């Protein structure tokens, strides 16, 4: 089994690095789907039709291939934050072009706006699902010194890569599971108490967790393989599970608030 995995490694490293690879984002979306309230589920279906959150979660990365200026320039900074001096994100940390936090605030306002167009709301929903996943990847709350681990060069099972790519995809794909298989395993391991504890809709808290974890995952030896994956698997799974629960919690809050506002207007 190890031999077949190593044969697949060149394909892995040919892919560009995103915040969580497609499998990771689909996992967070699938976990979120299982935890939506009835109101939120109905609103998601009204906006996305047959598309579930697992599929929607990868869309902002999929669109990076679109040559339009919106995707190549404007939306590019919306996948990460940079916190240079502390454990807490501050509004002053956002650059002029914006970041994941400023985008999340803007898209949340769009989704709550009863006068926003359906197309704008669909765009907002897909980005919200994606950004919440991004903010749970520890290297997407970077310190500004190495482009979120992209410039931290390592070897993974003897192949040259970088730490960001290992956390985005390599450790997830090492399991040789489909996104639905791994999402199912992780969903079944989430306890009711954890759902209650992780029902945190404050993005600053998610970022603080990611920063704390990010500071512990840089290896002293740049040649990593099975031992590194074993040491950090629980942390990786924890971030995926929390992201899924919080995507659902965040959407539940948006759509329940919108429903209450609509009721009060009648």
Q: What is the pLDDT of residue 17?
A: 46
Output the six-digit token pair for 193: 């108490």
Please tell me the predicted confidence (pLDDT) of residue 257.
80
Question: What is the pLDDT at residue 16?
Answer: 42
Closest by Cα among 200, 215, 95, 197 to 146: 215
Between CA 65 and CA 55 the distance in angstroms is 17
The candidate with the shortest Cα–Cα distance to 148, out of 106, 100, 183, 92, is 100
In a domain, 192, yes or no: yes
In a domain, residue 135? The reply is yes
- State how far the Cα of 157 lies from the Cα of 109, in Å rounded to an integer: 44
In a domain? residue 55? yes
The two structure tokens encoding residue 103: 């985008």
DSSP secondary-structure letter at 16?
P
pLDDT at 266: 55
Q: What is Dmax (Cα atoms) for the chain? A: 64
Q: For residue 155, which phi and psi values (nearest 5 degrees)?
A: -120, 135
Domain count, the chain: 1
Which residue segment(s) compose the domain that 161 sits in? 28-265
On whether residue 16 sits in a domain, the answer given is no
CB 224 within 8 A of CB 156: yes
* CA angle, residues 177, 80, 172, in degrees to nearest 5: 10
Task: Look at residue 173 and tell me if it is in a domain.
Answer: yes
HSE at residue 130, side-chain half, CA atoms within 13 A, is 27
The CATH number covering residue 144 comes to: 1.10.575.10
Q: For residue 222, which of 141, 154, 162 has the smallest C-alpha distance?
A: 154
Whether the model clears a pTM of 0.85, i.e. scores above it, the answer is: yes
Q: Which runs of consecutive H residues, i.e. helices, occur in the chain?
A: 2-14, 22-33, 38-48, 53-56, 59-62, 69, 100-112, 118-135, 163-165, 171-173, 179-189, 192-197, 203-214, 226-265
In a domain, 190, yes or no: yes
Is 2 inside a domain boundary?
Answer: no
CA–CA gap between residue 125 and residue 57 (Å, rounded): 9
Q: State whether the Cα torsion 110-122-49-38 is positive or negative.
A: negative
| pLDDT on residue 263 | 55
With respect to residue 153, please indicate whether it lies within any of the assigned structural domains.
Answer: yes
**pLDDT tens, residue order, the chain (266 aa):** 333 333 333 333 333 445 789 999 999 999 999 999 999 999 999 999 999 999 999 999 999 999 999 999 999 999 999 998 788 999 999 999 999 999 999 999 999 999 999 999 999 999 999 999 999 999 999 998 999 999 999 999 999 999 999 999 999 999 999 999 999 999 999 999 999 999 999 999 999 999 999 999 999 999 999 999 999 999 999 999 999 999 999 999 999 887 666 555 55
Buried-exposed string 51-62: b where 16+ CB fall within 10 A, e elsewhere: ebbbbbbbbbbe
């Amino acid at each position: 089994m190890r031999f077949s995995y190593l044969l697949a490694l060149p394909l892995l490293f040919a892919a560009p690095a995103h915040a969580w690879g497609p499998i990771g984002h689909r996992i967070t979306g699938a976990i979120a789907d299982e935890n939506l309230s009835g109101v939120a589920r109905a609103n998601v279906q009204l906006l996305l039709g047959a598309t579930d959150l697992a599929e929607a979660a990868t869309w902002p990365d999929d669109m990076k291939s679109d040559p339009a200026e919106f995707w190549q320039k404007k939306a590019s900074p919306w996948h990460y934050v940079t916190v240079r001096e502390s454990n807490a994100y501050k509004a002053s940390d956002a650059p002029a072009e914006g970041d994941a936090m400023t985008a999340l605030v803007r898209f949340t306002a769009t989704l709550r706006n009863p006068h926003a167009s359906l197309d704008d709301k669909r765009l907002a929903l897909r980005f919200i699902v994606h950004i919440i996943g991004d903010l749970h990847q520890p290297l997407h709350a970077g310190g500004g010194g190495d482009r979120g681990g992209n410039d931290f060069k390592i070897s993974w099972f003897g192949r040259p890569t970088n730490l960001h790519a290992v956390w985005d995809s390599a450790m997830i794909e090492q399991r040789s599971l489909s996104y639905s298989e791994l999402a199912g395993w992780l969903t079944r391991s989430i306890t009711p108490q954890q759902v209650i504890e992780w029902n945190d809709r404050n993005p600053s808290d998610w970022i603080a967790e990611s920063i704390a974890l990010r500071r512990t995952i840089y290896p002293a030896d740049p040649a990593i393989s099975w031992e590194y994956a074993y040491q950090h698997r629980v942390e990786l799974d924890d971030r995926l599970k929390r992201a899924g629960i919080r995507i659902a919690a965040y959407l539940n809050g948006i759509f329940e608030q919108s429903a209450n506002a609509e009721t009060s207007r009648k």
